[in-house]
Amino acid sequence: MGTDTKNKQKRRKKRPGLALALKLCLPVIVIFAALFVASKTFGNVALSNVTDVFAEFAAGVRSGGGYSYSLSGQNVVKIDRMESGLLILTDHHLEIVSSGGTPLLSERIGFASPAADVKNGRAVVFDRNGKKLLVTGATKLLYEIKTDFAILDAAVSSNGFVAAATLSKGAASELMVYDRRKQEYFKWQCAAEYIADVAFSRDGKRVAAVVIGVREAELFSRLLIFNISSAEPPASFEYPGTTLIKAVFTAKGSVAVMGDNILSVISPELERTDRASFDSDALSLVDTAENGACALIVLPFGNENRPKLTVYSADLGQSFEKSFDSRAIGLSRSRNHTAVLFRNSAVIYNNAGMEMGKIELSQAAAGISVTDRAVFVQVSDRVQKYSLAGKAMN
């Protein structure tokens, strides 16, 4: 799902007299920054060709074929795509629902700060700042892993490997990768910075880590790319004055990394290209698909009532842009569709930028997730499904 990141837009300036105080407060400042950034979870995706002509021809929004799934007054933390169905994460429960609205899994998890990453029909659900994560399929919990230190972020790969970023005793933070037998496969300690985000390549053989640190009273970020057969990263890229937020591998092996003021791409040959700059704008929402297709909403000059949507294909070429005249509160990107959520409506586009439908909501919405078959909107204490088929609903 899309993520609100506008609070990260304040420029970081050196101020005389603050250097000593910042050095003394460094662990607290950076842990807070890492947890704040990491707590904003993003969408997940599947390999595809973003110019699927048939999907563009057939797509539309209609109320028929949908359903309303009650959440019984629970506080929903996250809704996310899980194959053709939906993962619903609340303060205390994990719910997985089929595309037809049939409950497939319902588990009480009791996490204080739950989060999840979904990939290829499998999810890792973890307690941010806790010490336990769960790996689940669509119909049953597979296993759990307990960590020695507080979890900052976690990710699951298409081949079933799990990455967990935690605090560390011998360093600021550390990254572990576990295989399908729950055995530690890879470990790396980050001496001075705190890991804010981790992501796997599609084949699970590489992992990217976003780290945040402070140097001379200035925040900075680094992106490191590892082969999980070695704890020495073959590439490290620094972004001074930037809070990196999310990294994602594309279907072709590039890494896209998004920050509060930049969209940057690292090629499979480990060459960096900065694709977009948001210096005068505020990055508000981001969502990515599993194949690396992504969508961003920025606020020109910080104006919440004039959001601008930019959609990128799986090879990170710009597909289209749209501007709106009301505040966007949610964003979701699948391989063939992009959905933007407003307070009382949602609009869905195909990869060519054609509006495929608009949903009018009678109650204020809180979340949205789009697959290539349906749109899920969280309204009050329920999730409403709208099927993507037939003619668009205006």
Region 262-280 average pLDDT:
91
The more confidently predicted of residues 386 and 41 is: 386
Region 89-101 average pLDDT:
88
Region 140-162 average pLDDT:
95
Residue 92: both structure tokens together: 């205390």
Rounded CA-CA distance 139/233 in Å is 36
Confidence at 32, pLDDT banded by 50, 70, 90: low
The reported pTM is 0.80
Q: Which of 126-130, 159-163, 192-196, 227-231 has the lowest mean pLDDT?
A: 227-231
pLDDT of residue 6: 45
Digit-coded pLDDT (tens) for 122-132: 999 999 999 99
Digit-coded pLDDT (tens) for 208-232: 999 999 999 999 999 999 999 888 8
Confidence at 355, pLDDT banded by 50, 70, 90: very high
H/E/C letters for each residue in 246-274? Answer: EEEECCCCCEEEEECCEEEEECCCCCEEE
Region 181-198 average pLDDT:
95
Rounded CA-CA distance 338/288 in Å is 10
Q: Which residue has the tokens 């809180």?
A: 366
- In this structure, is the dihedral angle defined by the CA atoms of residues 285, 385, 155 and 130, taken in order, positive or negative? positive
Rounded CA-CA distance 104/122 in Å is 13
H/E/C letters for each residue in the chain? Answer: CCCCCHHHCCCCCCCCCHHHHHHHCHHHHHHHHHHHHHCCCCCCCCCCCCCCHHHHHHCCEEEEEEEEEECCCCCEEEEEEECCEEEEEECCEEEEECCCCCEEEEEECCCCCEEEEEECCEEEEEECCCCEEEEECCCCEEEEEECCCCEEEEEECCCCCEEEEEECCCCCEEEEEECCCCCEEEEEEECCCEEEEEEECCCCCEEEEEEEEEECCEEEEEEEEEECCCCCCCEEEEEECCCEEEEEECCCCCEEEEECCEEEEECCCCCEEEEEECCCEEEEEEEECCCCCEEEEEEECCCCCCCEEEEECCCCCEEEEEECCCCCCEEEECCCEEEEECCCEEEEEECCCCEEEEEECCCCEEEEEECCCEEEEEECCEEEEEEECCCCCC
204: left (phi over 0), alpha (psi -120 to 50) or beta: left
pLDDT of residue 2: 52
Digit-coded pLDDT (tens) for 293-334: 999 999 999 999 999 999 999 888 889 999 999 999 999 999
Q: Which residue has the tokens 């900052």?
A: 152
Digit-coded pLDDT (tens) for 58-74: 323 444 446 788 877 67
Digit-coded pLDDT (tens) for 247-268: 999 888 999 999 999 999 999 9
pLDDT of residue 22: 43
Distance of CA 91 to the CA centre of its chain: 18
Confidence at 379, pLDDT banded by 50, 70, 90: confident
pLDDT of residue 24: 44
Side by side, the strands of the sheet bearing 345-350 are 330-333, 337-341, 345-350, 355-360
CA distances, 130 to each of 9, 180, 325 (Å)? 28, 22, 40
pLDDT of residue 251: 84
Confidence at 34, pLDDT banded by 50, 70, 90: very low
Rounded CA-CA distance 158/203 in Å is 7
Domains of the chain, start order: 6-388 (2.130.10.10)
- Judge whether 244 and 265 are in contact, CB under 8 Å: no
Report the 10 Å Cβ neighbour count for 146.
9
Q: Is the pLDDT of residue 202 over 80?
A: yes
The more confidently predicted of residues 189 and 252 is: 189
Residue type present at position 156 = V
The whole-chain average pLDDT of the chain stands at 83
Q: Is the pLDDT of residue 113 over 50?
A: yes
pLDDT of residue 30: 52
